[in-house]
Structure 1
Amino acid sequence: MPIDEILKYVGLLGAFLYLASYFLLQAGYIGGNSKVYTLMNLVAASLVLISLSTAFNAASVVIQVSWILISVFGIVRMYFLYRRIQFTDEEMEFINEQLPKLPFHLARKLLDIGIWVEGDRGFELTRQGERNNSLIYLKSGRAEVLQNNIHIATCGPGSFIGEMTVLSDAPATATVRLVSTARLLCLEAEALRALSQSEAAIASVIQNSFSRDMRLKLEATSRHVGTMNQVDMGDCT
């Protein structure tokens, strides 16, 4: 195959990587500050630059060289930035479970607005009709969800409490009360809203975590309602 033909495909591969990285960014799969996005752009610019060796275009060369230099700067910056960031084992567990796509420096920002606490049985995490001061992550323990004093669901380890209303600052739709001792991460609500507005990547990852958590809660509630219906039918026979 002629070298010109090979270089044409090299350039097309570079263009594909440019488009793929931008699509993944817009779709929320990667962040603008992520290593994946930076590396994809670095490789894309390098491939396009190589393809220009037989079809020189000054403007294109300047753009690709600039893109390479900016990408290298971003990688070096992330290296020194991440090297200073430290997490406890508990924080890393939370990140891996709930924020796997969030860059470490943004995860550090998020965790810095929170505090880990122990909760006693009977403690109310939210109260129906009142605004939540914190978004709560239930690391261990269990909590019951009550609407109008009627038990409708149970939250187990890995659940968020208050995710439906904390970002909108709306009143809680249910009361959530611990039914056992628990380990909790409390993220201050006002600071969380401000951080979500200033950091799009944090807002995207949080919403994805909320959506996943809500799906699991709805499935659990459906199973609970189904069990209650079976019990009621059994009582009637």
Structure 2
Amino acid sequence: MRRVNAFMVREREIRVFPGARGRVATSLSSVAGHVSFLLLGYSYMTSDLLTLRALAVGGLSAAVVFQYFRDVPLWLPIRWNALFVAINVFWVAKLYYDEYNAEHWCTTEERSLYDRHFSHMALNSFRTLLKHGKWRDIERGFEFTKEGKMNENVHVLIDGSAEVYVGGKSVNSIDAGSFIGEMSLMRSIAGSNAKKQSKRPRAASATVVAAERCRVFSWDDGELRQLIQQNEQIKSGVQAAFGVGLAEKLLTTRVMSTKVFAQEPQRVSHALA
């Protein structure tokens, strides 16, 4: 008959809260069970892939300890959790290697773009995304989008600012860190007919003009559209970045005149695109 490890299963008093009633009787095996759930629970709250995988390794390993040190070990979950630990160890090593390797190919400017908008996606996917775009220096007065015209590019405004015009009226300004032209792409790939629509860019709902000399990273709309259609990881990463960018636009948008909004609410709301 199997002999249970006395050190792991022996109950001990542990102080949890101050005072006489702040002690609980538990074993190291039970503590491992609680730690397992705490780590796995925390992993659900992080968006960093490396952190998530590392927490999964710790949580699953603690679960194996809890499941093993019993009168009868729970071999079914032990075996499955051991497999999951191995899978996550592989991903921790891979993500760490990608992070380390990024120091050799990723410039300071590229790294800043990654940290600002795409840190939730794997670095190798971000590298692929970079290969399909280019850095550009834009002069004052350049039109990023033209109201009513098909959008040709999607931009990230790295440095500088831009003005948004609807019907020839200035309704908003865009600061560094914002996307330009992303809403046309998002609208065209949304819905049940995404595969059919993804090849057709939509007309811009506003004119966006560089208010000063700008530094941007740009993708060709059609090329980015095709990349998103072919690569699910990049699709989810780009959509998440665009979603955060849209939320920031909604929070920081500066309508130039409340009178303009009162007179033309529909036009001003479209300016967020």
Give TM-score, length-normalised by structure 2.
0.71
Rg (Cα) greater in structure:
2
Q: Which amino acid aligns with 1:213?
A: E
Contact 1:82-1:105 within 8 A present in 2 as well: no
1:110 Cα deviation after fit: 2.1
Tell me what 1:176 maps to.
208
Q: Which amino acid aligns with 2:57?
A: L
Q: SS at 1:15's partner residue?
A: helix
Tell me what 1:210 maps to.
245
1:62 Cα deviation after fit: 0.7
Q: How many residues align?
A: 219
1:16-53 deviations in Å (ceiling 9; x for gaps): 433443x43xxxx526xx11111111001110111123
1:154-181 deviations in Å (ceiling 9; x for gaps): 2222222112212223211101112322
> Gaps spanning 5+ residues in structure 2: where?
1-9, 13-25, 189-200, 262-273
Tell me what 2:132 maps to.
113
Q: SS at 2:119's partner residue?
A: coil
Give TM-score, length-normalised by structure 1.
0.80
Contact 1:127-1:172 within 8 A present in 2 as well: yes
What is the RMSD computed on CA atoms of the aligned residues? 2.5
Q: SS at 2:144's partner residue?
A: strand
2:91 corresponds to 1:91: no
CA–CA separation in structure 1 for the residues paired with 2:222 and 2:36? 43
Once the two structures are aligned, what percentage of the paired residues are identical? 21
> Gaps spanning 5+ residues in structure 1: where?
230-237
Contact 2:157-2:176 within 8 A present in 1 as well: yes
CA–CA separation in structure 1 for the residues paired with 2:94 and 2:252? 40
Q: SS at 1:164's partner residue?
A: helix
Contact 2:140-2:210 within 8 A present in 1 as well: yes
CA–CA separation in structure 1 for the residues paired with 2:30 and 2:239? 37
Contact 1:142-1:180 within 8 A present in 2 as well: yes
Contact 1:18-1:44 within 8 A present in 2 as well: yes
2:125 corresponds to 1:76: no
Tell me what 2:224 maps to.
192
2:73 corresponds to 1:64: no
